[in-house]
Amino acid sequence: MNLEYPYNYQNVEDMASKYLPEEQIKIIKESYELAKDAHEGQFRKSGEPYILHPIQVAGILTELKLDYATICAGFLHDVVEDTKYTLEDIRERFGDDIAVIVDGVTKLDKVKFRSKKQSQAENHRKLFVSIAKDLRVIFVKLADRLHNMRTLKFMKPEKQQAISKETLDIYAPLAHRLGMAKIKSELEDLSFSYLHHEEYLEIKRLVENTKEERKDYIENFIRTMKRTLVDLGIKAEVKGRFKHFYSIYKKMYQKGKEFDDIYDLMGVRVIVEDKAACYHILGIVHSQYTPVPGRFKDYIAVPKSNNYQSIHTTIVGPLGKFIEIQIRTKDMDDIAEEGIAAHWNYKENKKSSKDDNIYGWLRHIIEFQNESDSTEDFIEGVTGDIDKGTIFTFSPKGDIIELPVGATALDFAFMVHTQVGCKCVGAKVNGRMVTIDHKLRSGDKVEIITSKNSKGPSIDWLDIVITHGAKGKIRKFLKDENKETVSKLGKDSLEKEAVKIGMTLKEIESDPTLKKHMEKNNISSMEEFYFYLGEKRSRLDILINKIKVNLEKERAASTITIEEVLKKKEEKRKEGKNDFGIVIDGINNTLIRFAKCCTPLPGDEIGGFVTKLTGITVHRKDCPNFHAMVEKDPSREILVKWDENLIETKLNKYNFTFTIVLNDRPNILMEIVNLIGNHKINITSLNSYEVKKDGDKVMKVKISIEIKGKAEYDYLINNILKLKDVIAVER
């Protein structure tokens, strides 16, 4: 199958014919014929006829079993934007329903904007407002974006970066908010592969290296679980679940976890017939395995805001390994994968309830569109809080209000209604009076206290709220009510900071760093900038620091002598040494890390490779990964070497991990531990697991130790290999 272009028109028609009536299939065919005619002579960057793109979009929509109007819009989504046909032509031929969807995904190309950034923001605003009017707009837009990401390799690198960033910032969060997990995960992984390519390859390699081992383990667990359920007469589907690359990246690079510490790389999903069976199976799992405290979540009783329902629990499985188990019904599983799209497909024959969480969010978009003064505020308000952790709070009537972690009583008030937020003077949380800055926790029952005499939001409120929606509403109030006061506050604060670094207000106003900041944020005048400062939308501390650094450089450059330049160069050379025992000319020691794929030790031949995220990674010279990276980009290779003198004075030993392959027998682990102890080497961790090698079952023991260097390691390994039933040692 061609992964970039898996569908042809006949595939789409065949899939649609399985759930749509014949008269609607005819209209779908008409939309295809018009799109084919309209795009005649147009080609994609790959050189393929352009019509193949709308076919793929329609194919993705048909896979989701969406209604005929959405599929037609999939074929026609680029017609108004890129061909001679107008929206009126579409409306006349196919009716209002399809025309509205096509209009929703059509960019505002006829409008002139100050900058590309403003153009992008206004197009996003139009898209979100269109989604709120007809949800099918986002289905087409996500399908369009998904296929564009699948074929992104044909674009220029700078385009790849820009489109991937937009996808990660806007479209993946939207897919998540609508519960469309499959599309969200693919968009994230594709964007990740372009934005952080080296990290993507590293994670891919780590996953593939341990894939078979994890697969064997989880399959054994699934077999055991299936037998248990059959014996108890419970009908259920049990399957494995793999963690996506981008999720691994976020845990490794954003939360600082090691790959081996991510225990939910692969989990188990149990699909049952009804809700009661979910809780029955939960009881069975917890009776047979030890649950991990704090790792149980019941999203069936309290669904997420994207309508996601499932029970999550983490248990201690065989060999002491943690396993995440998700338990849900078939309908819940469909919604978990397809999200709100599942409500539109043939099985339901009706659209989503106007009272559910998704439609509540859509109403919020309409409200926020009417209240937000700035397009940037509007976009942030719609997408800014999506990817944060969530808490579930309750109104006095028992309605669930979902908020991001860290939200305050004031955030809750603005979530209820703008006027409630503006008149808020305090709150009762679980019956106890609290201030407006009180941080809420999951399970809190919140009653907002308002006063008619309240003067409304002040500047300080912007430091209390964390949700983008609340910030936008406060800023609009401040702008409407006291624009002059806020602007003066911003101007005074800038003047005060200017004096501190020895500059006048006039000098600051003409500073290139300030001009660049204003241009970047689409601020057209100093008056507007002062207002931005006053309402704390522009970070004054960061801006002043940048101006200060540039000013100091200029002053230093005008007075520095040749002797001082030479002195600085010598100092920098000396600073290149670090407590890793490695010399790298002119490099700060915080930028160095050892590669986990080959774990170099003093005595090994080593090489360095400059990475974007982690600085300089030191590999063994014979490491295959190092050779592959250098071959791909030789300019990033850097000369590194061990410093014997520094190694001698080094207080800390080197952390090192190796794996012993052995035939299992009683006391073998104890013999290995005693041997290492006799060498006066400290063990930091030990993990054992069963694998298949040449058709036979063997044990692998992964051991982490603290060691001085290669000579000490070689001596240790030689002695380990002498032990009975030890097959090999893998470094």
DSSP string, 168-237: IIIIHHHHHHTT-HHHHHHHHHHHHHHHSHHHHHHHHHHHHHHHHHHHHHHHHHHHHHHHHHHHTT--EE
On whether the CB atoms of residues 77 and 105 are closer than 8 A, the answer is yes
For residue 35, pLDDT beyond 90: yes
Phi and psi of 706, rounded to 5°? -110, 125
State what percent of residues in the chain have pLDDT above 70.
Answer: 80
Average pLDDT over residues 453-458: 86
Cβ atoms 470, 441 nearer than 8 A = no
Residue 694: predicted pLDDT:
66
Is 81 designated active site? yes
Tell me which of 175 and 572 has the higher pLDDT: 175
Query: What average pLDDT score do residues 114-140 get?
Result: 70
Radius of gyration of the chain (CA): 30
| Residue 352 scores a pLDDT above 50 | no
Nearest alpha-carbon partner for 630 in 198, 290, 320: 198
CA distances from 664 to 181, 219, 226, 536, 725 (A): 42, 21, 27, 64, 7
pLDDT band of residue 357 (cuts 50, 70, 90) is low
Question: Nearest Cα to 163, choosing from 198, 193, 137?
Answer: 193
Instruction: Identify the band that residue 330 occupies on the pLDDT scale cut at 50, 70 and 90.
Output: very high
Q: Is 715 helix (H, G, I), strand (E, B) or coil?
A: helix
Over 60: is that where the pLDDT of 267 sits? Answer: yes
pLDDT at 226 over 60: yes
Report the 10 Å Cβ neighbour count for 428.
15
pLDDT class of 400 with cuts at 50, 70, 90:
confident
* pLDDT interval class at 370 (50, 70, 90): low
Q: Give 127's pLDDT tier (boundaries 50, 70, 90).
A: confident
Q: Which two tokens stand for residue 162?
A: 């820009």
Burial of 645 (0-12, 13-18, 19+ CB in 10 A): exposed
Average confidence (pLDDT) over 611-625: 77
- 531 sits in the region (left: phi over 0; alpha: psi -120 to 50; else beta) called alpha
Mean pLDDT confidence for 529-545: 75
Q: How far apart are CA 566 and CA 572, in angstroms?
A: 10
Q: Longest Cα pair distance anywhere in the chain, in angstroms? A: 87
d(CA 339, CA 184): 10
Residue 540: is its pLDDT beyond 90? no
Stretch among 371-385, 436-450, 506-520 having the lowest mean pLDDT = 371-385
Cα angle for residues 540, 544, 550 (degrees, 5° grid) = 155
Give mean pLDDT, residues 464-474. 85
For residue 709, name the pLDDT band (cuts at 50, 70, 90).
confident
| pLDDT score, position 635 | 79
**For the chain, how far is it from start to end, CA to CA, in angstroms?**
39
Query: Which of 103-112, 166-175, 603-612, 638-647 reaches the highest mean pLDDT?
Result: 166-175
- Please, what is the Cα angle at 174 between 407 and 245, to 5 degrees? 95
pLDDT for res 557 = 47
At residue 574, the pLDDT reads: 46
pLDDT at 578 over 70: no
**Distances from the Cα of 421 to the Cαs of 94, 145, 161, 482, in angstroms?**
44, 36, 39, 18
Looking at every residue in the chain, the average pLDDT score rounds to 81
Mean pLDDT computed over 284-311 = 88
Q: Is 725 a catalytic residue?
A: no
Q: Which are the contacts of 83, defined by CB distance < 8 A and separation ≥ 6?
A: 38, 39, 42
Q: Which residue has the tokens 């030789």?
A: 634
User: Is pLDDT at 560 greater than 50 in this prediction?
Assistant: no
What is the pLDDT, as a whole number, of residue 293?
87
CA 224 to CA 136: how far, in whole Å? 43
Q: Which of 245-254, 523-532, 583-592, 667-676 has the lowest mean pLDDT?
A: 583-592
**Is 571 in contact with 592 (CB distance < 8 Å)?**
no
pLDDT at 114 over 60: no
| Average pLDDT for 230-237 | 91
Q: What is the pLDDT of residue 332?
A: 92
Rounded average pLDDT over 475-492: 78
Closest residue by Cα to residue 445 from 488, 510, 395: 395
Paired tokens of 293: 């405290």
pLDDT above 90 (res 491): no
Top-confidence range, 292-306, 338-352, 405-419, 572-586: 405-419
Could you report the per-residue pLDDT of 170-215, keeping only the tens digit for each? 888 888 878 888 899 999 999 999 998 988 888 888 888 777 888 8
Q: How far apart are CA 597 and CA 260, in angstroms?
A: 12
Amino acid at 29: K
Residue 29 has pLDDT above 90, yes or no: yes
> Which residue did the predictor score with more confidence, 466 or 579?
466
Q: What is the mean pLDDT of residues 485-490?
A: 80
Q: What is the mean pLDDT of residues 626-653?
A: 77
Distance CA 165, CA 171 (A): 10
Taking residues 296-325, report their average pLDDT: 87
Q: Which of 4, 13, 48, 82 is catalytic?
A: 82
pLDDT at 631: 85
Angle, helices 96-105/116-133, rounded to nearest 10 degrees: 150
pLDDT of residue 614: 55
pLDDT per residue as tens digits for the range 129-163:
777 678 888 899 999 999 999 999 989 999 999 89
* Residue 648, Ramachandran bin (φ over 0: left; ψ between -120 and 50: alpha; else beta): alpha
Name the pLDDT band for 24 (thresholds 50, 70, 90): very high
pLDDT of residue 351: 44
Residue in this structure with the two tokens 């509540």, named with its chain if needed = 360
Whether 668 has a pLDDT exceeding 60, the answer reads yes
Structure-model confidence comparison of residues 607 and 553, the more confident one: 607
pLDDT of residue 40: 93
Tokens 């403003």 belong to residue: 118
* Mean pLDDT within 528-554: 74
Q: Is the pLDDT of residue 544 over 50?
A: yes
Catalytic choice (14, 81, 212, 348): 81
Query: Cβ distance 276 to 223 under 8 Å?
Result: no
- How high is the pLDDT of residue 32? 96
